[in-house]
Amino acid sequence: MYQHNRLTANNFNFFSKLANFDYVLMACILLLGFISLATMYSTDGGKILFHTKSHFTKLIVFTIMMLIFSFINIKFWFSIGYFFYVIIIGLLIWTYLFGIKSSGSQRWIDLYFINLQPSELMKICIILCLAKYFHRMKLENVNSLYAILSSLIIILLPMGLVIVQPDLGTSLLISISGLAVLWFAGINHKYFIYTMIGFLISLPFIISFLKPYQKLRVLTFLNPDRDPLGAGYQIIQSKIAVGSGGIFGKGFLKGTQSYLEFLPEKHTDFIFTLFSEEFGFIGSVFLLLIYAVIIYRIVAVGAQSRSYFAKLFCYSFAASIFVYITINMSMVLGLLPIVGSPLPIMSYGGSSMLATMTGFGIVMSAKVHSQQSIA
């Protein structure tokens, strides 16, 4: 019971917490924040306008929030796992019933001071919830029917609520985050393979259930030149922007594609396009490198953590972040059909940043309290 004694001796005072802080991760996040701010400034046409100001405010607020979260004991995050999940499910139901309708979807709830997109928060919440669910479970029980079914329900419930918004992209990302936890929790890899095969077989049926605009996106992905001024416009213009950037890029504030408004959604999903046009291949690889370091640090925090919960959370969160980045970039680079998925931190959007920063906060907390074990 040596460990136990040592634990009780550890009081986690402020300075030891500060010493345990992951400064590399912190630096990367701040650097990313700075880059995103500069890019946002460029999307505003080289002026400090609405998007830049708003993004800046959010960055400051959520970074402070992240820092506060890092000083909260990991045990706390463990304890609120289910509660948090229930709250977000509640918010999703609220969204379904009373959400703000805009351009054909109902994704937002009006919190008077801020419009919140609960589906974004669900991306982080589902990891927290499932990590807690699997924390205590014995490995042999993990593959029991009961465990699999209940964890699937935990995933499918928010997925369904998000699909009806409708927001296929986010619901997919939620399910991927959830599945990542299941994967790390040790669910038999056969199930994953079977699911994959089943998914591929049922793909034609799924497509037949898709909404017309979603079918169009798939068709456009397969052949963007089908309708270059309509459905294919986004992806063609995005590829042109990235491709024309070249090795060194067109220079900061000199991206003609974005400046002349050829780029769609340049503040949100397509922000990487603008960055890539202005900073070229070298800039893009640098950005990817920052993300890689962030992901690496998160994994490293997980590896250092004593508690299984923290490990599960960190690994799954790292995988999720990686999936977000991959999906966003693949979409922008014409490797995947267009699904709404923001680039973490870079994209404009409060809820997404709130979710990501919360995730970082919990990771940071796991780092600070890496020696904390959870009973």
- Interface with another protein (CB under 8 A): 138-139, 183-186, 237, 239-247, 256-257, 260-262, 276, 280-281, 284-285, 288, 292, 295, 299, 302-303, 308, 311-312, 315, 319, 322, 326, 329-330, 333, 335
Shortest Å, Cβ 333 to another protein: 5
Shortest Å, Cβ 65 to another protein: 27
Query: CB-wise, 79 or 141, nearer to another protein?
Result: 141
Query: CB-wise, 68 or 285, nearer to another protein?
Result: 285
Query: CB-wise, 85 or 272, nearer to another protein?
Result: 272
Query: CB-wise, 155 or 319, nearer to another protein?
Result: 319
Shortest Å, Cβ 234 to another protein: 11
Three-class HEC string of the chain: CHHHHHHHHCCCCHHHHHHHCCHHHHHHHHHHHHHHHHHHHHHCCCCCCHHHHHHHHHHHHHHHHHHHHHHCCHHHHHHCHHHHHHHHHHHHHHHHHHCEEECCEEEEEECCCCEECHHHHHHHHHHHHHHHHHHCCCHHHHCCHHHHHHHHHHHHHHHHHHHCCCCHHHHHHHHHHHHHHHHHHCCCHHHHHHHHHHHHHHHHHHHHHCCHHHHHHHHHHHCHHHCCCCCCHHHHHHHHHHHHHCCCCCCCCCCHHHHCCCCCCCCCCCHHHHHHHHHHHHHHHHHHHHHHHHHHHHHHHHHHCCCHHHHHHHHHHHHHHHHHHHHHHHHHCCCCCCCCCCCCCCCCCHHHHHHHHHHHHHHHHHHHCCCCCCC
Place of tokens 């405010």: 57
Query: CB-wise, 25 or 91, nearer to another protein?
Result: 25
Place of tokens 């999903």: 269
Round to whole Å and give the CA distance between 346 and 343: 6
Determine if the peptide bond prior to 204 is cis (ω within 30°).
Answer: no
Query: CB-wise, 116 or 299, nearer to another protein?
Result: 299
Query: CB-wise, 280 or 342, nearer to another protein?
Result: 280
Query: CB-wise, 108 or 262, nearer to another protein?
Result: 262
Shortest Å, Cβ 256 to another protein: 5
Shortest Å, Cβ 296 to another protein: 9
Shortest Å, Cβ 258 to another protein: 10
Pair 263, 238: CB distance under 8 Å: yes
Shortest Å, Cβ 212 to another protein: 25
Shortest Å, Cβ 367 to another protein: 16
Query: CB-wise, 95 or 175, nearer to another protein?
Result: 175
Shortest Å, Cβ 308 to another protein: 6
